[in-house]
Amino acid sequence: MGKDAMVKLYDTTLRDGTQSEDISFQVADKIRIAQKLDELGIHYIEGGWPGSNPKDIAFFKEIKKETLKQAKIAAFGSTRRAKTTPDKDNNIRTLIQAEPDTVTIFGKTWDFHVKEALRISLEENLELIFDSLEYLKKNVPEVVYDAEHFFDGYKANPEYAIKTLQAAQDAEVDCIVLCDTNGGTMPYEVGRIIDEVKKTIKIPLGIHTHNDSECAVANSLVAVEHGIVHVQGTINGFGERCGNANLCSIIPALKLKMEKECVTDEQLKNLRIVSRYIYELANLVPNKHQAYVGNSAFAHKGGVHVSAIQRHPETYEHIRPERVGNMTRVLVSDLSGRSNILAKAEEFNINLDSKDPLTMELLEEIKELENKGFQFEGAEASFELMMRRALGTIRHFFSVIGFRVIDAKHSEDEKPQSEATVQIKVGGRIEHTAAEGDGPVNALDHALRKALESFYPSLKEMKLFDYKVRVLPAGKGTASVTRVLIESGDKTGRWGTVGVSDNIIDASYQALVDAFQFKLLQDQEGEET
């Protein structure tokens, strides 16, 4: 394969990534993540296993309503069961009914699994693979075959492992993916085995590795060096046990180190944003020491390093951090941040001058807020509002004079009742309103809406889609600081807002008020255009 040969990226964060014991995504989360992956330039997004749970079926239904720039949506499943035909196999039928762009199914490669897990003959397993793939090829646009436990199977019985791949090749699938399912294969084995496979298998090959030996990224890159043209992995390496191959390391390595075409330069700049966005939706703290995208990936602390990188960054940085959306940080006197704000302002069509004292003021405000626990990944609406307030380019739609939330439990076996009272001011008018809700935040949301909708009827279109709370590590137990992330939306789009406080109701209030402000700002700009 030449330097510029295209390598297709196949993301399985929404399926394999959710196998991680810490991770669960709602359908709305999965849709938002798919949109971000598409912006990153991912070629295939594996949405889930529609035969295994209702949430995945719902995802395939909802994603059809979205317009993706380039990504194909893949559905995952298995070969048919023994003693049934593909057309009668419920798993195969559900895959076709999901109407994805691509179907990926896995089959058994390791003779040990065929005998012990499936309890069928080796010959029957070859029929399972061929029948299932041949049937799918007639019914869906594109079929990918995941050869499960391929490397372990090959080491145990190379002749049979190759036969399973030949069955897939005979069914004329579009790609055969060699899987290191248990994550125990070493890089020097991967290259040697792929070279052997290529003597028999002539259709495009892919790689799917797990990180149980800390070699998933290395194994994927070695595979590409040996002619693999399709790489599977997850954002941030999420996945069961020790995780999957980390696409946040694989993508820049392919593009910048190996000079393989996979994403554009512009798409690559989204890498850090996508990484942190998915951490935020997973409600996990980002790994600051993560290669390429972590906060510390290009951080320098004192002495010789600092003076050297200020003159020549390449002295202590293996790539320019801007290429992956990151930045150099000097930890002694933090010189970072200004370019980040300018880039963000440009994204929101806000005109900032790098030499303007206002830019430095904004930078200080952001640092102060981040120090308190604010995080703007996944809360871009709050970030835009903050910039507009600093610039004085935002209309003052309303102010909240005060609010009160009461939770009362009247008997042991009844759930608590929540009621919120708010007082708002719009222009010269004051509105005083109360509302009930399912919990204090819901009651506050209802009361704010009730008060504001008489002035701004368009708020009726706005819905609250998601609400996430993270207790920030402060070692204070129940007095810890909490960060609330709220996702809201209307018929034209969705937006995220954030609030931070040692009082969860106050943090929720901050995020709610920003959500309403942003909706009104969007409406105003829509009218002006």
Domain edges within the chain: 8-281, 398-455
Cβ atoms < 10 Å from Cβ of 99: 14
What is the helix (H) or strand (E) element at residue 14, kind and residue range?
Answer: none
In the sheet that 399-408 helps form, which strands lie side by side, from edge to edge? 399-408, 417-426, 429-437
Cα–Cα distance for residue pair 237/462, rounded to 1 Å: 35
What is the CATH code for 8-281?
3.20.20.70
The pLDDT value given to residue 253: 98
In degrees rounded to 5, what are phi and psi of residue 38?
Answer: -65, -45
Strands 230-233 and 205-209: parallel
pLDDT (tens digit per residue) in 12-34 = 999 999 999 889 999 999 999 99
> What pLDDT sits at residue 525?
83
Q: What letter represents residue 480's amino acid?
A: S
Cα–Cα distance list, 32 to 48, 66, 516 (Å) = 15, 10, 20
Residue 434 parent element (H or E): strand 429-437
Angle at 443 between CA 439 and CA 448, to 5 degrees: 155
Q: Which pLDDT score, from 0 to 100, does residue 332 have? A: 40
Q: What is the pTM (predicted TM-score) of this model? A: 0.74
- Token pair for 191: 């290259």
Mapping DSSP to helix (H, G, I), strand (E, B) and coil, where does residue 32 land? Answer: helix
Residues forming beta bridges with residue 13, ordered by sequence position: none
pLDDT value of residue 391: 79
Q: Which secondary-structure segment (H or E) carries 68? A: none
Instruction: Please work out, in degrees rounded to the nearest 5, the angle formed at the alpha carbon of residue 117 by the alpha carbons of 113 and 119.
Output: 100
The predicted structure's pLDDT at residue 210:
98
Of 352, 421, 389, 432, nearest in space to 518 by CA: 389
Q: From CA 244, how far away is CA 241, in angstroms rounded?
A: 9
Give yes or no for a contact between 20 and 12, defined as CB atoms under 8 angstroms apart: no
Indicate the pairing of strand 399-408 with strand 417-426: antiparallel
- Looking at residue 333, what is its pLDDT? 34
- Inter-axis angle of helices 504-528 and 440-453, to 10 degrees? 30
Residues of the chain whose pLDDT is less than 70?
Answer: 1-4, 301-315, 329-344, 347-348, 354, 474-479, 529
Residue type, 52: S
Cβ count within 10 A of residue 382: 27
* pLDDT recorded at residue 354: 65
The pLDDT score that the predictor gives to residue 13 is 98
Polymer length of the chain: 529
DSSP H or E run through 46: strand 44-48
Q: Which of 123, 122, 172, 125 has its CA nearest to residue 145?
A: 172
**Biggest CA pair distance of the chain:** 83
Helices (H), 89-198: 90-97, 111-113, 122-139, 150-156, 158-170, 187-197
pLDDT of residue 221: 98
Task: Give the burial class of 65: count Cβ atoms within 10 A of its Cβ; 0-12 exposed, 13-18 middle, 19 or more buried.
Answer: exposed
3-state secondary structure of 459: helix
Name the region of 236 (left: φ>0; alpha: ψ -120 to 50; beta: rest): left
CATH number of 398-455: 3.30.160
Q: Is the dihedral of CA 431, 436, 437, 439 positive or negative?
A: positive
| DSSP run (H or E) holding 443 | helix 440-453
- For 214, the token pair is 């800390």
d(CA 493, CA 455): 22
* Element housing 407 (H / E): strand 399-408
Taking a C-beta distance cutoff of 8 angstroms, is the pair 234, 217 a contact? Answer: no
Strand 417-426 vs strand 429-437: parallel, antiparallel, or unpaired?
A: antiparallel
